[in-house]
Chain A
Amino acid sequence: DTGVSQDPRHKITKRGQNVTFRCDPISEHNRLYWYRQTLGQGPEFLTYFQNEAQLEKSRLLSDRFSAERPKGSFSTLEIQRTEQGDSAMYLCATQGAGEKLFFGSGTQLSVL
């Protein structure tokens, strides 16, 4: 257990539905990252927060994706109007004062 919690672990949804994932970071970590990992590939960067500010978004993050980190604590990633191509593992990672990144176990999304 790295101390980074993600919920839910698994999510099955129908195409067109909205889904929301949550990440609870290690409490003193001010940087929070979202990555997406598809089968047989490495994680791909989606977005990151420094405290509550979202400072960078990847081109992978279409308009259907939105992320928040109110008060610089937990973060949510919402996908609207899901598509089958959104099926993937969504990973959260946090970083404190040191270089080390701590990853959560991820949320596995399946869009039917």
Chain B
Amino acid sequence: GNSVTQMEGPVTLSEEAFLTINCTYTATGYPSLFWYVQYPGEGLQLLLKATKADDKGSNKGFEATYRKETTSFHLEKGSVQVSDSAVYFCALRTVDSSYKLIFGSGTRLLVRP
């Protein structure tokens, strides 16, 4: 079946620190992979995506590379800001006709000034 596993949080960092949030997946076929972000009091927003192996998604300084050999899609940012404090969800989109998203459990990031 399809599933996504994320590292547990919260992850607490100081401003300008390097961020890694691990994500691995199990899937039938070769799904598209996504990172969504949920800021406090707001809805889910797409942060970045990758649709095939070795693709790198990037947005707002965040990056993630689709690694088929390790079934991973780790999220990274070189220098976090306080405004990056949010919950981050890794997700895959199934390859069947529904194209539904399967989400990980989320990782809360807290960035201190």
Contact = CB atoms under 8 A, between A and B. Distances in A.
* B: contact size bracket: 20 to 34
* A: contact size bracket: 20 to 34
Interface stretch (A11-19, A21-29, A70-78, A93-101): A93-101
Interface in B76-99: 89, 91, 93, 97-99
B17 interface: no
Most A CB atoms within 10 A — which of B46, B101, B103, B104?
A: B101
Interface in A62-99: 91, 93, 95, 99
B104 A48 contact: no
Interface in A26-67: 31, 33, 35, 40-45, 48, 55-56
A56 B97 CA distance: 10
B29 interface: no
Contacts of B99: 31, 95, 99
A43 B103 contact: yes
B13 interface: no
A95 B99 CA distance: 10
A45 B43 contact: no
A33 B43 contact: no
Contact of B100 (A40, A45, A100, A103): A45
A56 B106 CA distance: 25
A21 to B, nearest CB: 15
B106 A103 contact: no
Given A42-B91, A99-B93, A2 B43 contact: yes
B103 A99 contact: no
Query: What 8 pairs between A and B have smallest CB-CB spacing?
Result: A42-B103, A103-B44, A105-B43, A45-B100, A103-B43, A56-B98, A42-B105, A43-B103
Interface of B: 4, 32, 42-46, 49, 51, 89, 91, 93, 97-106
22 contacts: A2-B43, A33-B101, A40-B105, A40-B106, A42-B4, A42-B89, A43-B44, A43-B89, A43-B101, A48-B98, A55-B97, A56-B98, A56-B100, A91-B43, A91-B44, A93-B101, A100-B46, A101-B46, A103-B44, A103-B45, A105-B42, A105-B43
